[in-house]
């Protein structure tokens, strides 16, 4: 990278990080128009993607990431590790749009690229593979493909346990997602077990944190599905207390858990 190009990138980044998003976009587009397809062009596309993401211009963002993918494959081949990250980004964007079939397609390709690179002697990518497997599992889950979702999340869990241990954030995510899968399979006892593991890890490792509250709320929801309304209310209260302490009592998740708690209280009255 020449000094002049580095200075150009730094100028665009400075404008972007200073909040001058329109100026940053103008400079980036001008530079892209004057740069042939190359490593520099890919770096500019990456920066342009960040600008469009900040602007929530998702239509053009898809075009930029697809162009970036095309350039990476042209310069470095289809199985280059950088293409996996772009494919995963595209999957996240389609997931945001709730187009889970498209998200599944791109994420599946990303996982395949990482598997190829790991088999070629790049074991340092194994944690990234686990992260991508969590995403791929989620897309199967959203499409009600619970068998596929479970197999993938268990593979991810095996990696997190091996590489980071039982108390890792990744492991807690997998336990939480296994709980959700079993809830949808109406296996409420198993769902409660996995949600309890997720909540326990988050409480011990994160303490007062929105992710802790999220897992506690999911645990409470599973308890309610299993008919244990007293414990469900207690865990909803703990989750809502954390949200309140963080100033997030009006967040989407806090409101949803509060509504679920009210349903539990009504169910207790009816049961009593």
Helices (H), 77-209: 81-96, 100-119, 126-142, 146-163, 169-184, 188-205
Mean pLDDT per 10-residue section of the chain, whose length is 272 residues: 82 95 96 93 95 94 96 93 96 96 98 94 92 98 98 98 96 98 97 98 97 98 96 97 97 97 89 66
pLDDT at 101: 98
- Determine the Cα–Cα distance for residues 83 and 10; give it in Å rounded to an integer: 24
Please state, as a whole number, how many other Cβ atoms lie within 10 Å of the Cβ of residue 83. Answer: 22
Q: Are 244 and 222 within 8 A, CB to CB?
A: no
Q: Are 219 and 198 within 8 A, CB to CB?
A: yes
Ranges of each domain in the chain: 166-272
- Determine the Cα–Cα distance for residues 259 and 184; give it in Å rounded to an integer: 20
Q: Are 16 and 51 within 8 A, CB to CB?
A: yes
Q: Are 93 and 59 within 8 A, CB to CB?
A: no
- Determine the Cα–Cα distance for residues 97 and 58; give it in Å rounded to an integer: 9
Percent of the chain with pLDDT over 70: 99
Please state, as a whole number, how many other Cβ atoms lie within 10 Å of the Cβ of residue 130. Answer: 27
pLDDT tens per residue across span 168-222: 999 999 999 999 999 999 999 999 999 999 999 999 999 999 999 999 999 999 9
CATH architecture of 166-272: Alpha Horseshoe (1.25)
- Determine the Cα–Cα distance for residues 9 and 190; give it in Å rounded to an integer: 51
- Residue 174, φ and ψ in degrees, nearest 5: -65, -40
- Determine the Cα–Cα distance for residues 247 and 237; give it in Å rounded to an integer: 15
Q: Are 81 and 122 within 8 A, CB to CB?
A: yes
pLDDT at 270: 79
How distant, in Å, are the alpha carbons of 41, 64, 71, 75 from that of 36? 7, 15, 10, 12
pLDDT at 229: 95
Q: Which residues contact 20 (CB under 8 A, 6 or more apart)?
A: none
pLDDT at 272: 61
Percent of the chain with pLDDT over 90: 93
pLDDT at 5: 87
- Determine the Cα–Cα distance for residues 188 and 209; give it in Å rounded to an integer: 26
């Amino acid at each position: 990278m020449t000094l002049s190009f580095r200075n150009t990138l730094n100028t665009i980044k400075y404008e972007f990080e200073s909040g001058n998003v329109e100026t940053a976009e103008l400079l980036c587009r001008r530079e892209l128009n004057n740069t042939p397809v190359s490593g520099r062009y890919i770096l500019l596309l990456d920066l342009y993607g960040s600008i469009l993401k900040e602007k929530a211009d998702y239509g053009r963002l898809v075009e930029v990431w697809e162009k970036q993918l095309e350039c990476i494959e042209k310069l470095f081949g289809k199985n280059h590790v950088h293409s996996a990250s772009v494919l995963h980004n595209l999957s996240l964007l389609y997931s945001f749009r709730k187009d889970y079939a498209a998200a599944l397609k791109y994420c599946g390709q990303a996982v395949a690229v990482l598997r190829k690179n790991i088999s070629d002697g790049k074991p340092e990518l194994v944690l990234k593979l686990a992260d991508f497997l969590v995403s791929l599992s989620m897309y199967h889950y959203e499409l009600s493909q619970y068998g596929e979702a479970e197999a993938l999340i268990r593979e991810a869990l095996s990696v997190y346990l091996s590489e980071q241990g039982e108390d890792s954030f990744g492991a807690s995510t997998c336990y939480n997602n296994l709980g959700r899968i079993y809830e949808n399979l109406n296996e409420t006892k198993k769902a409660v077990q996995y949600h309890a593991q997720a909540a326990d890890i988050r409480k011990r490792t994160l303490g007062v944190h929105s992710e802790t509250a999220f897992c506690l709320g999911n645990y409470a929801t599973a308890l309610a599905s299993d008919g244990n309304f007293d414990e469900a209310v207690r865990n909803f209260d703990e989750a809502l207390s954390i949200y309140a302490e963080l100033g997030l009592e009006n967040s989407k998740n806090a409101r949803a858990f509060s509504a679920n708690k009210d349903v539990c209280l009504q169910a207790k009255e009816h049961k009593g």
